[in-house]
Amino acid sequence: MLKGKKVLLGITGSIAAYKSAYLVRLLVRAGAEVKVVMTDAAAGFIGPLTLSTLSRNEVLTRISSDDTWANHVMLGRWADVMVVAPLSCNTLAKMAHGICDNLLQAVYLSATCPVVVAPAMDEDMWKHPSTQNNLQLISSFGNNIISVNEGELASGLFGPGRMAEPEEIVEWLTTWFEKKNDFSGKTVLITAGPTYEKIDPVRFIGNRSSGKMGIAIASAFLERGARVQLILGPSSQPVPAGIRTIKVESAREMYEAALTAFEEADIAVLCAAVADYSIAAPASEKLKKENGAPQILLTPTRDILKSLGEKKSGNQLLVGFALETHNEEQNALKKLKDKRADLLVLNSLQEEGAGFGYNTNKITIFDRKGGVTRFEKRPKKEVANDILNTILKFSDA
């Protein structure tokens, strides 16, 4: 499946760079065309001559040499995918913060193709909060991360931080290319994040949803070829370029935007934690303490999922979510039926590391034909792809 694919391989300064030679060889053997860009630090671990021989292409290290300028913009446009393997801690930090002090960074920052990274570092560096934050940042920009392996590290210690093996990277790319366009031609509507219901000009009632899960789902659809319309409640999470986003605040605004967008949608995934009640009469001026505790009258909001379930035509597919703390399956199945969804994704607040704010989630998906699929706890990006795979399976059944 890599036949004819153009792979731009970025190599950075890590001992795992010695494996890049084998990676290039495997890629070329699988039929890919490979060009290599490496940092000066990488050239300390493996010689450019080895890589140019194996890739059958010139290896680039500098923005300019001998008065010739390396066209970093065209390199990113040439490639079907840019793979940075190994990704050192230093280059990760530069990618996260947009630093452009070498050719590899210039290529990365101007790349219009998808980017995949395979980190490699010692366990303590891997576990450092700055490394984990930087990984989250580059993932939020839409970059793909191939997980590190656990095992013997250059320090002699055992733990997480080993770069994925070249065979695993090639397999990852093969699977990724296969599934890459499986939603092409589809228009997808996603609601995500919390809603805020105004009490007065400075106060609101909200909830703890971060929007991370919905944005991960929107990103997965985009990567797999769909046209994505995201309706996002108040959230500080970055949204990758290419996702059409309407920012809303209240449940009412989300309802109106979703109803309009649904007319064009083939698939709708309603991930937002929508307020069930809004304030009947929000104050137009700030409520003052001296007037005593306010009596706030609440009024029910419209249920977006239920409304779309009532409007849904035969070829539209509707996916709902349920966040439950008790009687989880029973409540989820009731929501699936009452709201006329095709699939319902249950996430439990009882599960450590799952739900609001976390980067991981553990889900079970129920479908209206009685099917149940249970998944292990995984990063939200992988959970997003599990949901997309289940949608495909359900529509093909």
Catalytic residues: 207
CB of 217 to ligand CTP, least distance (A): 12
Tokens 């699929």 belong to residue: 373
Per CB under 6 A, the list member of 270, 343, 365, 384 interacting with ligand CTP is 270
Residue in this structure with the two tokens 């997003």, named with its chain if needed: 384
Contacts with 136 (C-beta within 8 Å, 6 or more apart), sequence order? 359
Q: Which is nearer to ligand CTP, 122 or 328 (CB)?
A: 328
**Among residues 83, 243, 274, 354, the one that binds ligand CTP under rule CB under 6 A:** 274
Query: CA separation (Å) from 368 to 160, 328, 342, 365, 386?
Result: 40, 16, 5, 10, 18
Residue nearest to ligand CTP (CB): 304
Token pair 């995918």 is at which residue?
A: 81
- Evaluate whether 116 touches 146 at the Cβ level (below 8 Å): yes
Closest CA to 257 of 201, 200, 191: 191
Binding positions for ligand CTP, 142-201, rule CB under 6 A: 191
DSSP code of residue 190? E
The amino acid at residue 215 is: I
Q: What's the alpha-carbon Rg for the chain, to the nearest Å?
A: 24
Q: CB-wise, 159 or 282, nearer to ligand CTP?
A: 282
Give the footprint of ligand CTP on residues 281-320 (CB under 6 A).
301, 303-305, 320
What φ, ψ does residue 99 adopt, rounded to 5°? -80, 135
The DSSP element (H or E) to which 379 belongs, if any, is strand 378-379
Residues 6+ apart with CB under 8 A from 159: 123, 126, 150, 153
Query: Which residue number, 139 or 301, has a Cβ lying nearer to ligand CTP?
Result: 301
CB of 297 to ligand CTP, least distance (A): 18
Q: How far is the CB of 345 from ligand CTP (least distance, A)?
A: 8
Q: Closest approach of Cβ 195 to ligand CTP, in Å? A: 8
CA gap 276, 251 in Å, rounded: 8
Give the contact letters, 232-261, x = binds to ligand CTP (CB under 6 A), - = no: -------------------x----------
For ligand CTP, which residue of 263, 276, 310, 376 counts as binding (CB under 6 A)?
Answer: 276
Residues binding ligand CTP: what is the number (CB under 6 A)? 15
Kindly state the smallest distance separating residue 182's Cβ from ligand CTP, in Å: 23
| Contacting residue, 323, 336, 346, 384, with ligand CTP by CB under 6 A | 323
Q: Which residues bind ligand CTP (CB under 6 A)?
A: 191, 251, 270, 272, 274, 276, 301, 303-305, 320-323, 335
